[in-house]
Every structure is written in C-alpha cells, then in structure tokens.
Structure 1
C-alpha cells in the first residue's frame, strides 16, 4: 500500500519558527537529518505518515494544520485577482495556491488591502453620485489648476535658490543699510528708478495689500500691513528691479507649464528673494547658530516677523554653510493648508502634517504662544515641532481677524542644536493623516482609515465611532 505524501514545507517552517527552533534541533527531535528537514521545508521532499505522527506527538501539532487545504485563502485571492485591474496578471491559479501555502500572512495582507481599496472605491462612487445630484456633474475634470502645480513644485523641492540668495546678499552689501533697511530701500527705489513708496489708508485701498502704479511711478502699500509686512513688500519690488535676470534664469530652470504658472511662481520667488534681502544668508546663518535657532530672538535681531524668520530658517541649505533642515506648514483655523515647504522639501510621506493632535491646531486657543512638542510617527520617526499663531493684516472694528498658525519642524536628531529641544516632553503619538493612520483607540480620530476594515460591533463601543479591526 502506497504511503500518502504531503508537501507542506512552509507550514513545517512556520511551526519551527514559532517554537524558535533551529533546523538542527527539530531534525534531532524528529530523528531525521538537518539536510532532510531542509528539503522538506523547501517542498523538495514530502511529509510521510510517520513524520506526521512524529510531529504530532513531539510538538503537539494538530494534524489538520499540516494536512488542511488552503482553499479558503486561495478562493479569496482568486476573487481579488479577478478584479479587472489585475485580471491579466496570472495565467492560472497555481501561483495563488503557492502564495496561500507559503506566505499566509502576505495573503491576508493582500486581502485586507483589497477590501480597503473596494471600500474607498465605493465611497468615491457615492461622492460622485452626490455631486451629480447637486448639479456639479459626474464628469469632474482631472485638469489641475496652475496654482496646484506651482504649489506642488515648491513643496516637493528644497526651499533654496542659490542664484537668488547670492544676488540678494550682494545687493544688501551694496546698500549698506546698517540697521535701517527700510529707509535704504526707499532711497534706492527713488534714486535708481524714480519710484516713490506711499502708505494709503484702508478706505483708499480696501481690498489690496499693495499696488504698483507704473504711470505715476508710485508703490502704494495698505496701512493694514504691519511694518514687517510693508518691508517685505518693498523688498520684493526692489529685488525684482535689482536683479531681474536672476529671476528669469531661476524661472527658466523650473518645470512650469504656461504663463499663469510662471506668474505665480515669480511671486513666490519674489517672496523668497525679499526674505534673502531682509536676512542675508551669511549673517542670518551665523545669528541662527548663536541663538540656537530661537525664532523670537532672530525676529528681534533682524526686525522681521515670526513668520518671516521661521520661513527663512527653512532655506538654510547652502552647501558650505547649511543649517538644520527645517520644514514648515501654515494652516487656517479650519485646517486648510495654505502653504508648505522645507529645506529638503516638505516631508509629506514621513510627517504628513494632517494629524489633529499636532500642536499647530491647538495654537489657535493660545494666540501668540509658542508651543513645542516632540511627535512620534507610527513608523517610529520622531520630529521636534514648534507652533505659533500668526496675525494677518489689521482688521477694522466690524471685520473678522484673519489668524493662521505656523508649524516649524525638524527631525528630532537635531533637537539638541535648538533652544526648543531643551527639556522636551515625551513624544506625542501622531499619524500622517487619519485616513492613513492605524493607531487604535485614538481620541482625536476624525476619519476611518482606508487601510483597515471597520470593526463595527453592536455589543462593543470603542473610543471612536471609527473603530477598526
């Protein structure tokens, strides 16, 4: 009578690994050679009835665990690969059976991911239907606005433009402004370009920050702007007039599509050049090191705002004189992202910035206060964050104050180089965004994760309505 042969190498290997045994130790207990056990685990030799009984008696293994079929997992995998997106990937079922046999945990992960994908597809379908019912139309355009393309470009590339920085530093040296850059810039604009700067009351220019009248050669600034913001507007205009070729070259080096995108990018570069002129690289870098990157001390030293000093810190990446690679993010009190950037680009994948537990959201309840946190991501990465509210243009009696919040961050490895790293509290567990975070029992969770199926149970209620398995 022929012996029944069972090829179950991956299962034997899982049993051995679960018991923390070496092949030599298990082979000795089963009275076979280590090389023979190695062949069994690689499915090059079968498990005989005698070996099955030996495994059962020595390790108390359920024989069904070794002889059981994987039809359940294989059938579920077959359903996944029947999806039109994957239908042409496999010529037959053999590979699915091998995956279910050799890597059941991987098979389980594929099934969970596919369930999350299906749930998300259904949500998007429902959203499209809702928009259609409300008259927005089902054919939503995939075309991106020029502003979106420029924003992504500035967020993903390092916030350092060597040509603009060098030109601004040289221009500052020519001006020799001592401690009064504002007066020096006004005088230079009048002397070199016949351009006068005037500040207008709110009723004369209610909806504009500034206006350049080329006919009368006057630059009008709104009295809504703080002195620091007025200085930046003047510095932007002066930079564009002082070294226009550098702006053109920088724009030519950027992958921009269309005149509108180029115009928006020019404005962002003008803001960058203004900061470089107000805070020349070499002097600012030296001051940042002395102050251990204390933003309040730097703003006082250079007579700039908190936002301007923090933004400048994210640009210190000159190869021979680099600073800490900071990144920053500005939001409004509704959580809308206004801008992001960083010395090495904004770390979207590692940090995200959309977790409601970040102190940048709490800053609105403590206007003007600097909030320092260390935060830990699900993967173990730890960041040092500094958050503070920013005041917008001056509002009138019956106008709503525009207040935003800024988050300045860096890898915790640099915490000791900053004043904010002294006595930092234990890390706060956060995620990149609720949709991508699988931390269980989070009191701040605002949305269910797309990567985990919801664990709804009539008999059990968790800390969040978005409990998941």
Structure 2
C-alpha cells in the first residue's frame, strides 16, 4: 500500500492569495483558519489540511492537481537524479531535505541543477578530448537543454500562446475541420488578407520555405502536416510580438537557445490551433481519451493528439494529468513531459521494461500496460509506433515510439482501462525511471548498477545479474520496503 504523502504547497498558497489581491488576514478568514496557521502553511512549516484544500477548491476554484503536482516535484526528481552522481557519494541529503529545498527555495534548486549540468558537460568534453574548455562558453548549458527545461518547468503549457492559438482557430474555423471546409485554405486566406503572403504547394524537400511574400509547403507531406506548417507561419508572422515577449520572460542564456525556443513556441501555437483547448478537452472527455477517434475528429496525427493531451493544464480547466514521451529506436528520449508524479530521467534512456520500447515490434498497434514505480504509484501506460516518411529514397523514413499515461486513479476516464484488472497487484509491471537511479535489486533487464549502490560479485554463484546490489539504508538486497517507501 502506498504511504499517504503530506501536502506542502506554500508557494501555491501564496500565489492564489496574491492573484486574489488578499491580505493574509482576509485570506485566512476566507479559508476558515487562523492567521498563524496560514502563515505556517505558506512557509511550509505545516502541510495543507484537507479542509483548506476543499476551501481553496470551492471558494477560489483551485484544482487539486496544481497543488499536488508541479515544479517542486519536478525539481525534487531532477535533484535526486543529479545527486546519484558518484561525485556526491556519501554526501547526498535525504529526500525530505530535497523536497524542502524544491518547495521553499526553487531558485536555489535550479541553480544547483545548472551547476551539475555544467559539471557533467565538462567531464564529457574532457573524455572526448574536446577543445571546448578553451572557450569562454565551455560551461554554458546546451541550447537544446535550456529549451527543454523551459517547457518542462512550464508544465508544457504556455497560457498566452495557447489562448492566442485558440482565438485564431475560432476566428478562422481552423480548429474544427469538416468535409466542406479546407483547413489549409483558412490559414492561406488569413496570411493573404493580413500580410499579403501567397501560399503555394511545391515539390520541395523542406516542410516549409518562406521567401519574400511567398510561402511554399511541401507536396511530399500529408495535408495535416501542411496545415500544421501553415499555422506555424501564422504564429511567426501574426503573433511574433507575443512570441518575442514570451522569450524575453524566459531569459535564455544564449541566442541559440532563444532561436530554438522561438520555433518551439511557433510549433506550440500550431498544435494548439489544430487542437483548440476547450473544444479538444471537451471532445477528449466525451471520447474517453480515445486517441484514434480524436485524431480522426480533429484531422490531426496520433502524436499531435497524444502530445496535446499532456498539455491540458490550464488553470481552472485542467484535464487528466498525463505524461507524454517520444523515444527513437535507440531508446533515446527525444521529447518528454509529465504532469504526473512520474518524472523522466534527464540523462540516459528510459526503463527497458516500459512498453514504449515494445511498440517498435508491433507496428500500427496501440499497446497497454499497467505499471508500478518504486515509490508504489501505479500508472496505465499506452504506447504506439509513429513513422515520419522522408519523401524519397535519399530521405529514409524516421521511426519513433510515443508513450502516454496517467495514474490509475483516472482510469475510469480512459476507454483503454475498461477490461483491465486494476485491483490485482499481479497486473502491474515493476518499472523504474532509469537503471542509473532505480533501486530494484531483482530486475532481469537491468543494464547498469545504480550509481549510488555498492555491488558484490560472487564467483561461485550466478543469478540474473553477474553481481548483487547492496540494499539502501542497510536492508538486505532481497528485502522490500514497507508501505511503498
């Protein structure tokens, strides 16, 4: 049984109070608690009580998911992984301290992660005999990592851009395709009327080419891809000021990261235009999150639908909190986001027992899996392969697998859970985050020992692994923790 977790949400409590423009005294009165009790909760000296959670929901419209899952849990997971580095051997603080740091001093936690990332990069460059240490930017974070972390810590939801895309879709009909209307033409008319841009379809290997006042989309791609790329151009042309303002707020450390994120925000706009928030969320609930039906209904790809489901985190209108991931055939994570307690590894590959890897073996089929992580939390996981045709012999097809999942407590809202035995512990596959930080001692697919675990080699005995793991906290390797700890 999973041990109940105390809820510390001081930062979020203060945010709600400031959003409402209330003093601490007025806020405490509205919540039905004393001023001293509120002060203790806002400073994370006491957990948020059930009565306060109910009052926040009823009086201020606060969704519980914004209290239980957020930046602090992501920071805690990221710090735990960083502290598994051997350089911290014997010096890593206990998990409770990490949670306190992430909750009470998130800026300090992010600074620590930036420092550790710089340390890792320096080691990698030395190992490869790179000459980067001779440059002034040797320890600067990589632009792709900066951008990835920006979306990660924003819950992969950018409110201003999302709402702008929703307004564009409503004004043009872009977000509700039907047989009698051409979505691509709607975008073409918008670009022509407002910016004098002509759109043409041409035989070009590039998905989108903008030269002067002419936009060329590749004839080698699907109609859905062409519509998406047209929406990307709408974002860059019509909403450039909004995107630039968002980039200013992000405060990237390099111009490269800023330019990469600009494309990321334009892509975000396009995805939100194809799948407008309110309409898509309503349809998702009606269809019980059937990915294929939603893809048909909105004229989108399977990957676009799965990714969009993981972004439905608008304050006051949250959907099911999903995680989403995309991996290549080598197992490398190329996209990752989680609105759940499951946080993906920042380094290395994902757990090999996870069904996302099996999707390559069953093309065109959607796989289901019930899984349990070492902390005792149970999930329903969906996986499917996706292909991206190159359009020619010299441009081979790219293959990926995508994964989408949520905690089993939301299973009644998913069509995929209808005939699964959710009550039986035997139904759940024991998975981890990655081998380097997973403490499971009896995993038959382990690739490397955990970084913080001592190993023992017995030449007179061979089990599944050629070594055994020393148990954390003095437990024997085969002893399991109680209450899901």
TM range (shorter): 0.5 to 0.7
1:181 to 180, 183, 205: 183
Q: CA deviation at 1:342?
A: 3.4
After superposition, residues 47-446 of structure 1 pair within 5 angstroms as 135-136=129-130, 141-177=138-174, 179=178, 180-201=182-203, 205-206=204-205, 208-214=206-212, 217-343=213-339, 347-348=343-344, 354-397=350-393, 399-424=395-420, 426-446=427-447
Structure 2 partner of 1:112: none
Distance 1:345 1:192, change over 3 A: farther
TM-score, scaled to structure 1: 0.67
Q: Distance in 2 between matches of 1:135 and 1:353?
A: 24
SS at match of 1:448: coil
What SS class does the counterpart of residue 385 from structure 1 fall into? strand
Query: Shift of residue 341 of structure 1?
Result: 1.8
Q: Is the 8 A contact 1:376 1:427 kept in 2?
A: yes
Question: Equivalent residue of 2:436, what SS?
Answer: helix
Cα pair 2:345 2:434 within 8 Å, conserved: no
TM-score calculated relative to the size of structure 2: 0.65
Deviation at 1:420, TM superposition (A): 1.8
* CA distance in 2: counterparts of 1:353 and 1:421, whole angstroms: 27
- The question of whether the paired residues in 2 share the 8 Å contact of 1:330 and 1:407 is answered with yes
Q: Which whole-Å CA distance do the structure 1 matches of 2:139 and 2:270 have between them?
A: 35
Aligned residues of 1:373 and 1:424 also touching (Cα < 8 A): no
Q: Distance in 2 between matches of 1:307 and 1:461?
A: 43
Distance 1:456 1:315, change over 3 A: same
1:315-336, CA deviations, whole angstroms, 9 ceiling, x for partnerless residues?
1112232101112111100011
Give the number of the structure whose alpha-carbon radius of gyration is greater: 1
Distance in structure 2 (CA, Å) of the matches to 1:466 and 1:138: 37
In structure 2, relative to structure 1, the CA distance for the partners of 1:248 and 1:320 (3 Å cut) is same
Quote the offset at 1:228 in angstroms.
1.6
> Structure 1: any 5+ residue segments left out of the alignment?
1-83, 89-123
Once the two structures are superposed, residues 350-409 of structure 1 have per-residue CA deviations (whole angstroms, 9 ceiling, x without a partner) of 9x9710111111111111211111111111111221111111133424653210111112
Match of 1:53 in 2: none
Could you tell me how far 1:167 is from its partner in structure 2? Answer: 1.4
SS of the equivalent of 2:199 reads: strand
Partners of 2:125 and 2:460 lie apart in 1 by: 32
Distance in 2 (alpha carbons) for counterparts of 1:410 and 1:418: 10
Distance 1:226 1:336 in 2: 26
Offset at 1:136? 4.1
Deviation string 1:72-119 (CA, Å, 9 cap, x unpaired) is xxxxxxxxxxxx99999xxxxxxxxxxxxxxxxxxxxxxxxxxxxxxx
Per-residue Cα deviation, 1:132-159 (whole angstroms, up to 9, x for no partner): 5x74469594332222111122123312
Identify if the C-alpha distance between structure 1 residues 254 and 441 changes in structure 2 by more than 3 Å, giving closer, same or farther. Answer: same
Q: Return the alpha-carbon distance in structure 2 between the equivalents of residues 372 and 304 of structure 1.
A: 22
Judge conservation of contact 2:372–2:431 (CA < 8 Å) in 1: yes
In 2: Cα distance, 1:324 partner to 1:289 partner = 9
CA distance in 2 between counterparts of 1:387 and 1:288 reads 18
Distance in 2 (alpha carbons) for counterparts of 1:232 and 1:138: 38
In structure 2, how many angstroms separate the alpha carbons of the residues matched to 1:85 and 1:444? 26
Alpha carbons of structure 1 residues 467 and 197: separation in structure 2 relative to 1, 3 Å: farther
